[in-house]
Amino acid sequence: MNTDERDQIRAAMERILSGTAERSNGALTIVALALEADIPRNALTQRHTDLKNEFYARVAERGAPSEVETRLRASITTLKKTIANKNAELAQLRTDVAALVRAVNQLTLENQALQEALANPNADVIPNRARRPGHTEE
């Protein structure tokens, strides 16, 4: 057995459980423990299962999650809401862009037709004046 690795895991366990994580986010998870110990996660799930089980037992003894974990979970919830809002906004913008592209294409075609009509001196061009409310032609 690699005693250095076991010592790293035990030291990381103490840092996480005391709320003084240095390399991880301090969450009470095996992933955070592996990051904190600077070892691959599978070292805990395959080689050092006793330490993994000890960590879970110590977390269970504590009962409530640490302050760090509570803050992180609140941040995660806020970020998930932000992402959902941004995804909805992005979907609306994509819909708006498609509608605007159609409008620009239509206006481009109308502009081309008007340009061609104006370029032809023999064409009968009748100005299209929009009527304003309350305005009468004289």
9-25 pLDDT per residue, tens: 999 999 998 889 999 98
Predicted local distance difference test score (pLDDT) of residue 111: 93
Spatial neighbors of 37 by CB under 8 A, at least 6 apart, are 5, 8, 9, 11, 12, 13
Question: What average pLDDT does this structure show over 94-108?
Answer: 95
Domain ranges of the chain: 3-63, 67-119
In angstroms, rounded to a whole number, what is the distance separating the alpha carbons of residues 68 and 79? 16
In angstroms, rounded to a whole number, what is the distance separating the alpha carbons of residues 100 and 93? 10
H helix intervals, the chain: 3-18, 30-37, 41-42, 49-62, 67-119
Both structure tokens of 61:
């003894």
Predicted local distance difference test score (pLDDT) of residue 69: 72
Percent of the chain's residues with pLDDT above 70: 86
**What is the residue-averaged pLDDT of the chain?**
87
Q: Does pLDDT of 138 surpass 60? A: no
